[in-house]
Structure 1
Amino acid sequence: MEMKIISLFLYLMGILCLVYCEKFRFDNYTLYKIYPKTEIQISLLQKLQENDLNLDFWTDPVPNAKYVMVLSSPKNKESLENIMNKNAMAFEVAQSNIQESIDKELVASSTRMIDGRWNTYYKLDAIYGWLDTLATRYSGVVTVIYGGTSYEGRPIKGVKISHGPNKKAIFIEGGIHSREWISPATVNYITNELLSSKDDKIQAVARDFDWYIFPVTNPDGYVWSHEEFRMWRKNRRPTIGNSIGVDLNRNWNNNWLAQGSSTNPASDSYAGPGPFSEPETRSLSTFISSIGDKIDLYLSFHSFGQLLLIPFGNTTEPIANYHDALHIGKKAMKTLSVRFGTQYVTGNIAEAIYLATGGSIDWVKEREQVPLVYCYELRDRGTHGFVLPPEQILPTSQETMDSILELIHEARELGYMNSGSTVGASILMMILLLITNLL
């Protein structure tokens, strides 16, 4: 009798969970692609972004923006369209029901191993379990490492790949914005290639450097985006009032809150109450600093837009080794385009996308003086946005791996990443540019 009561209780709890704990759905949410042509139209969209938090701006309405992506609920759809029509803004419906795309995303259960299956998005437990497996399978080469702990107590888990002592390092950071699922997926693919590829070039770079790889640096947000709210971007720390979360890529201590972030705790770009206010950024930056003098190349992975960004986000001035980094990046993106024809734009954050500060790559560049620092904004250019179909995971990852090999090759050609020496790189670049101009 007691067992029947327990079974009935569990059954009723299950029903209640279905009713009250169901994941938020985006049925009939419309994704718009808006084409502002005038300063007035840009200004209007900026005011909407700032004041109407019911609209989810997937891209920012900045001057010279070719398009602005906005996700609207059915409730707000008519109002948004009226505003656009009244102000003669051209627009198109990129997706009329975003939930249909979400339903097509293949998500593996937490118990399923990754191991070469690149047509699926994986939950955090699956990723972390796979990292543990790699450490066992490649013992002596792979070590599990920890970049800190999240607000909800989850580890920021990664791996170090090392084939011997006294090597310079390449650092890879993914998943700091939780809804950008293609970021951890691509980082996982890169990790797998470094360990199992038969390609001579990949084997060589795997051996030549220590690789520090963190596929998910916002574990709480990533779990929330899988279990509760697919479009969640921030971490999960309660802030002011009923608001939750800080944009971890606006929380680093470099020109914090200067540009491209919000003081509104309800905003997706809320920078937090102060720089490094969040346990994730605070602990990860401490880890980075502990090996900062070893890092030759820092790669951060985001989506979307097909951009390769270099520091800085507060100015378009070509400061630091801008010309070297730009030259190397453009060569790498040319290589990326070979396999599938995917086109990327290369530039610093402020010139290629918008003014935005408080991000990881600016802090790494200025604070740790890492020679080469890049941020990938992976596929696509707005057709699917954050809901990139699973069949694009493999081609995205393959072309990205191609480009990383070229980044390293071109960096070495200019004197970087050779036994840690960057002496003469900028001088060599100036000579090359002078010769090019004379020809």
Structure 2
Amino acid sequence: MLVFLVLGAAALASAHHSGEHFEGEKVFRVNVENENHINLIHELASTTQIDFWKPDSVTQIKPHSTVDFRVKAEDIATVENVLKQNELQYDVLISNLRNVMEAQFDSRVRKTGHSYEKYNNWETIEAWTQQVTTENPDLISRSVIGTTFEGRNMYLLKIGKAGTDKPAIFMDCGFHAREWISPAFCQWFVREAVRTYGQEIHMTELLQKLDFYILPVVNIDGYVYTWTKNRMWRKTRSTNAGSGCYGTDPNRNFNAGWCETGASRSPCADTYCGSAAESEKETKALADFIRSHLSSIKAYLTIHSYSQMLLYPYSYDYKLPANNVELNTMAKTAVKELASLHGTKYTYGPGATTIYPAAGGSDDWAYDQGIKYSFTFELRDTGRYGFLLPESQIRATCEETLLAIKYLANYVLEHLY
């Protein structure tokens, strides 16, 4: 076993110029009971550099909830003192971030190049999109729907048997750069589609009657940055006028209650909503594609991590969608399907009440465009590893998620509108 960990560490060391920055960093989970506690966390956040993992900003903390955040080594004593003095209950989820970061690469797959059970860097994923298209010409076509801020091509895979006027499902991965399990799932889905077409009755029927549009990585620049500079980066890599801080949160950048709640107007914040809705080239390319295919797209699925949740609109408001009962029933059945394989428990419901209010999300935007079936998946886990889910969990995570996606796709097929 040791040899793999050493390999992983070596792979990490070569890929992460900043690995040493994470030495001794901790991830805390704090129980927040009341407004007093919330104010204390606000105060801590203003005096130390805290990276909020869940919820993703200090403004989204609610009473009677838990908060996960990462603290730099030099601030740990301060943070622990404040928590203890004020009698806040807390757990240390990760006691040395660097170790967990290195242990991520624990896959036994020795393969160089692309693997479905390893985390692949962007260069490898890009080559894979070409290869999988070339190898499956009757099932897959590849197009470029735009370019990123740094000029990388945004590849979209269209999967399905040729047909006229087919309804479609749009699925994207990799909105937030550090959520590596997300792109891993999009790749897995493509593999399972081509591997089981003609073998497994449900997938065969889905691909005969539906098209799937798969965007394997939305935020490519950010993803590259997590492999080369900072594993914990979340946003895009665009420049911000008048600020030395980079990037916008692409999932706060859509024209759906844009920047009203759970988003920040500060370019330095992780939840920065951008200078305007669709200010980011990546979000605009995605939105333009969906707008131009609205007549065929019947469902929108976006894959994030972590917290094991299946969310539907709305997140930008506490209002419920018109087909709330239907979406709730679908979500309930989908999480049951998901749990049937490995017993993984998901919670589900409207975004605002189930996780936290957040404006400018792609799921709310897609729903408001008239796409009745719009869902956000928050994949494994619930915080033990957070964004650093080990490669050894990729297979199980993807297998179970696939069951939920197939259920939803089948439902959409039976309830076309």
Indicate whether the TM-score tops 0.5: yes
Alignment of 1:384-399 (within 5 A): 384-399=385-400
Question: How many equivalent residue pairs?
Answer: 393
Q: How does 1:10-409 map to 2 (within 5 A)?
A: 22-25=17-20, 26-49=22-45, 51-52=46-47, 54-60=49-55, 62-64=61-63, 66-106=65-105, 112-114=112-114, 117-164=115-162, 165-197=164-196, 198-239=199-240, 240-366=242-368, 368-409=369-410
**Distance change (3 Å), C-alpha of 1:166 and 1:113:** farther
**Distance across 2 between alignment mates of 1:149 and 1:107:** 33
Contact 2:256–2:316 (8 Å) recurs in 1: no
CA deviation after TM superposition for structure 1 residue 65, in Å? 5.3
State the AA in 1 paired with 2:160: S
For residue 202 of structure 1, report the CA deviation from its aligned partner. Answer: 1.7
**CA positional deviation for 1:405:** 1.7
Q: Deviations over 1:350-397 (max 9, x none)?
A: 01001101011111110x200100000000001000000101111000
Query: How big is the shift at 1:66?
Result: 3.1
Q: Which runs of 5+ in 2 are unaligned?
A: 1-12
Q: Based on CA coordinates, which of the two structures has the bigger radius of gyration?
A: 1
* Alpha-carbon distance, 1:36 to partner: 1.2
How much does 1:410 deviate? Answer: 4.0
Corresponding residue for residue 4 of structure 2: none
Letter in 2 for 1:66: S
Aligned-residue sequence identity (percent) comes to: 31
Which segment is superposed worse, 243-252 or 319-328?
A: 319-328
In 1, Cα distance between equivalents of 2:298 and 2:105: 36
CA–CA distance in structure 2, aligned partners of residues 255 and 396 of structure 1: 32
Larger relative contact order, structure 1 or 2 (CA cutoff 8 Å, min sep 6): 2
Residue 393 of structure 1 aligns to which amino acid in structure 2? I
- Equivalent-residue separation in structure 2 for 1:280 and 1:219 (angstroms): 9
Spell out, residue by residue over 1:277-334, the C-alpha distance to the aligned partner (whole angstroms, 9 max, x if none): 1111112211111112211111000000001010111223323211111111111101
RMSD, matched Cα: 2.0
Distance 1:107 1:270 in 2: 33
Residues of 2 paired with 1:361 and 1:53: CA distance?
Answer: 33
Q: Distance in 1 between matches of 2:117 and 2:132?
A: 20
C-alpha change, 1:34 and 1:159, in structure 2 (3 Å) is: same
Cα pair 1:174 1:302 within 8 Å, conserved:
yes
Query: 1: distance between equivalents of 2:347 and 2:47?
Result: 30
Unaligned runs of 5+ in 1: 1-17, 422-439
SS at match of 2:65: coil
Q: Is the Cα contact below 8 Å between 2:203 and 2:406 reproduced in 1?
A: yes
Aligned-residue offset at 1:273: 1.2
Moved more, 250-259 or 238-247: 238-247
Contact in 1 for aligned 2:306/2:386 (Cα 8 Å): yes
Moved more, 99-108 or 84-93: 99-108
